[in-house]
Amino acid sequence: MSDEEKLIAAARQAREYAHAPFSEFHVGAAVRTKSGRTFGGCNVENASYGLTICAERVAIFKAISEGEREFEAIAVVTDADDLTPPCGACRQIIWEFCGDVPVILANLKGKVERENSSKLLPRPFDSSNL
């Protein structure tokens, strides 16, 4: 199994833990660090909606909370026919914490696409703007 396939599998597994009682849209993500570790995350919805957190941010924040600071790639898995890219907030977090990494989009039917984060968030705001 390739590194990309392993990352997609980890995101798929994380999706199983999604807490999405309102949207019923389960999302899993997994981020691979330069040290070789993989961290999964799922979306966690809240009745107030605004406090909901996406799978991508959960995975990245888990890695950061474990001391990781350098990332190689992130995968996002849903059950949608059309592949689901990260929302704007997640694109910002991916850029700020991971840099220009491959973002791998996949669904449960085996469809896969790759796009670097710089294409998903052109002209990003980061520390260079401060």
CATH architecture for the domain at 3-119: 3-Layer(aba) Sandwich (3.40)
State residue 19's pLDDT score: 98
Question: Higher-confidence residue: 1 or 37?
Answer: 37
* Mean pLDDT of the chain, nearest integer: 97
DSSP 76: E
56 part of the active site: yes
Strand partners, 71: 33
Taking the CA of residue 35 as centre, how many other CA atoms within 13 Å lie in the half-sphere pointing to its CB? 10
Query: Which tokens is 117 given?
Result: 């984060």
β-strands 71-78, 102-107 pairing: parallel
Mean pLDDT of 85-108: 97
Mean pLDDT of 104-119: 98
Distance, in Å, from the CA atom of 86 to the CA atom of 44, rounded to the nearest integer, reads 15
The 10s digit of each residue's pLDDT in 28-86 is 999 999 999 999 999 999 999 899 999 999 999 999 999 999 999 999 999 999 999 99
73: Cβ–Cβ under 8 A, 6 or more apart, which residues? 3, 4, 7, 31, 32, 101, 102, 103, 104
Given 56, 68, 72, 96, the catalytic residue: 56
